[in-house]
Structure 1
């Protein structure tokens, strides 16, 4: 019995430690070069038979046979303030869009509120000016409209505006 209680305390302590490392931040600079999987402070959501994963030093959104499904990459929580967000984003052809959301609850898409209208992915660096009034996560929604389409995300940079 003592072993079970001790194991439970160790497991709970480990869980609390992991959560403590994901505090709200005011700057995110990520090139995804060292990611083997989605970082524990980020959230990936892909619907249907789509895939959202880290590979080849970038994040890949892949439609497989499920075009039109919502796919989100959600950042760690950010502090209230005004930010400049820049990222490199490209696709393998077809029609694809990117939309930015404020995310109150990462597990409830009903809490996702659009803060930047959908924009066509053209292969160029994208820059957005973002203002958040309270701590929130940012959600990047990618929409792929064809079978076997992919979008590649790299060099994510969120910095406070001065």
Structure 2
């Protein structure tokens, strides 16, 4: 019952789930989301009028009846440096788009700076070279163009580039 009330409050407000100030800056991330029952306190989610949640051992971006809603999920703060970012991604069909960004303020979407060009989501493992000039959060921006569309993210890994 507690989870339903919390989820309802988040959906109703269309707000952010914000990172906990006690979270530490990291230099690598390995997350398969298997133990997540909700978004981890050190990550940030912005779902607008749609849904972004942890379920079935992955992260799900779901449009419900709100296509064109930009949804964002950001990592804990990451130390400046060069990295390789990999993750598995898939969707349930239709037009879906992914953009990767960096930010210094997870609660201000105007501060998000694209690292990649928005691209159509195709199923499979994705890999990106990331260069952070200063400590930043990384984020995934997903755009779903139809009702009841979903994008699934799993096996998120950020490793220092050698």
* Secondary structure of 1:19 counterpart: coil
The offset of 1:108, in angstroms, is 0.6
Match of 1:70 in 2: 70
**Alignment length (residue pairs):** 143
Q: Which residues of 2 match residues 36-47 of structure 1 at below 5 A?
A: 36-47=37-48
| Larger of the two Rg values belongs to structure | 1
The offset of 1:103, in angstroms, is 1.0
Paired with 2:136 and 2:81, the residues of 1 have a C-alpha distance of 10
* Secondary structure of 2:97 counterpart: strand
Moved more, 35-44 or 120-129: 120-129
Match of 1:4 in 2: none
* Secondary structure of 1:105 counterpart: coil
Which digits, 9 at most, give the CA deviation of each residue in 1:68-97, with x for residues without a partner? 111001000000001100000000000111
Match of 1:147 in 2: 147
Give unmatched runs, 5+ long, in structure 1. Answer: 1-17
Give unmatched runs, 5+ long, in structure 2. Answer: 1-19
The offset of 1:19, in angstroms, is 2.9
* Secondary structure of 2:106 counterpart: coil
Structure number with the higher helix fraction is 1
TM-score (norm 2): 0.86
Paired with 2:77 and 2:41, the residues of 1 have a C-alpha distance of 12
Match of 1:28 in 2: 29
TM-score (norm 1): 0.86
Provide the alpha-carbon RMSD of the alignment: 0.8
